Structure 1
Amino acid sequence: MKVAVVGGGLQGIEATYLAHECGWEVLLIDKNSLAPATGLCDEFFLLDVTLEEEKLLKVFEKADLVIPALENDKALKIIKNIKSKVSAPIAFDFEAYEISSSKQKSNTLFESLGVPMPKLWPNCNIPVIIKPVNASGSQGVEKITTVEKLAAFTTQKNFSANNWVIQDFVEGPSYSLEIFGCLGQYFVIQVTDLEMDSNYDCKRIIAPTILNESKQKDFEEIAFKIAQEINLTGIMDVEVIHHQGEFRVLEIDARIPSQTPTAVLKSTGINMLELLAQIYLDNEKPDICLQISGRGVIYEHIKISENIMQVAGEHILTTSGPIYFCSNFFGADEAITNFQHQKSEWVATLIIVAENLNKVWQKREQVIQNIKTYCGITAYQDLLPEGEE
């Protein structure tokens, strides 16, 4: 089977990797010839979706399935508008994405459903987190710790309240869960644990979760409630933080996520892209065997610069240029990396798998030590959000 993946960034890396795990051929489309996923695809098409509609249609004609893996609103509008001209299904819920891509619309949805979320300013205390309304993940996120700094931010010449969400800064562990929808039926796979860097960008995914079964069910109920309300078709990622005994929803994303699907695949053997394809190609809910536990997996990003190793958020991949798949990478089961021998600066996503969480952490320590030894690392930094140890 051939899949056309639109976008060679973080979601494109994920979609391309998962497609290859299914044994599919990947046709990648991006306007950047050095997009990270260009090193992973089978065939690359250099084109700007927003300017070259006819060329885009010709690529889509070669595919059995189209997977938008980007968050460019103009590009997504083009794809939506040509949907009727494309014989291959487009695996994307445009209506659900319109809600999830706006933090204001998402927050309005949460409030209407009674889903707990961080309180909005001014109905909360300092410190607060400010987020661009239409950005994803950690893009533009900033923690503000004093009223004076918040006042300075909100009185800037170009500040518009419609472009920002200001919320209570809540502390606690973060978790993620993907939920699927098909013809009014919904199902989930596995909760994963998230760890952030100093910019609140996810640096590490751990599976299976350390949450007990009761807490997992609580999280799942939140995901089901949201998916049912927006009549989800396909996939949606729900991210929460556990604060003072309850889950608070940070954001939802109704598109193929990055990072977590690979961790879930390695832990459970279930490929989310394969499920997504079944929903759009067969128009029926996939028949899968669900499980709560799974193999231990650590999926994390590292950056090597001279003799310094940093564990940092996935943003380090976005400017790395083309990256490639590698197995048995310094003892890691797999890696996605631009590593070259004798190269002093490189990045890698390490995928480490073992029988359980204890064993995968032991294995991970050996992998890190192997890299330190080979590269002559003298400084190791596992970056953390401000105030965490």
Structure 2
Amino acid sequence: MFEAVETLLAEHAELERRLADPAIHADQATARRVGRRYAELQRVVAAHGAWHKASEDLTAARELADEDPAFAEEAERLAEEQAQLEERLRLLLLPRDPNEDKNVLLEVKAGEGGEESALFAGDLLRMYLRYAERRGWKTETLDVAESDLGGIKSVTVALKGKGAAAESDETPYARLKFEGGVHRVQRVPVTESQGRIHTSAAGVLVLPEAEDVDVELEEKDLRIDVFRSSGPGGQSVNTTDSAVRITHLPTGIVVSCQNEKSQLQNKEQALRILRSRLLAIAQEQADKEVAAARRSQVRTVDRSERVRTYNFPQNRITDHRVGYTAYNLDQVLDGELDGVIGALLDADQRERLAALENSAG
């Protein structure tokens, strides 16, 4: 392990030298890429420094304990601290998701279940917005289509970065990357007059938000159409062609936005979504792990492909991928998602550690 650490420390020193050279800043894309890698390795440098200091303190405490037993307790405490720091260092050596530091475009779409599914999609949207608020993230609605009863047919929101209220330096993508998939609800719908429990579903898709330097779009690859936006019951209908539909000709991806009153604003929002979808596709093709993660997300909003169930009669939430179950559904829907998200992240960490140990063995 420590041989790998020494290699990363040497890389960090070289990146620091490059960033100090004014010439690198002539190419902003290169400077940004080098800066990101430097910041990533800074965590390894800090963890190694803490581990090294704890090791020196432990050696000194053990020497003192040989002469004075009163130092034995301090040596025991330092040995435990050193072991914890070594484990943190080991975790930092795990291969990182290339999108770990990115913001998120979160899409929620109603699926099977008609109006009840749209209402549930609205519940999911509020859940994620409340979670973002708890972690100090900024939110921005890029596009939304509402149902007749106030639910959500589809919505795309941007969740942005490390807010002051955040409990850690984890980005929206780092926390939400496993939220993608089909979410199933079991409850008595407001549209049900006889009090019977129904099952419906909504789909969630998590995309790392691409920056301009991540995906280059050429005008010749885009077909841009404009049309009049519309809403349920004739509401929010524009009298001008402000809605925008962009088709990426090489891939056939189509993105529509009509949330803003300005055609230019809708075009910019659509381009943001398109870049993020293209980034995800490019990384699927380049990285099998990313491909597997994407395949675990929503393909069709079919109840049989569920990743999570929200059972209202029992106040129960179950994530079927890791066997997580808790009876605090009301709190989860109010944004207290750390329990279920933590279970998913812990399972992923254990899997990656096992893979690292097997490759080392």
Assess same fold via TM > 0.5.
no
Larger Rg: 2
Structure with higher strand content: 1
User: TM-score scaled by structure 1?
Assistant: 0.24
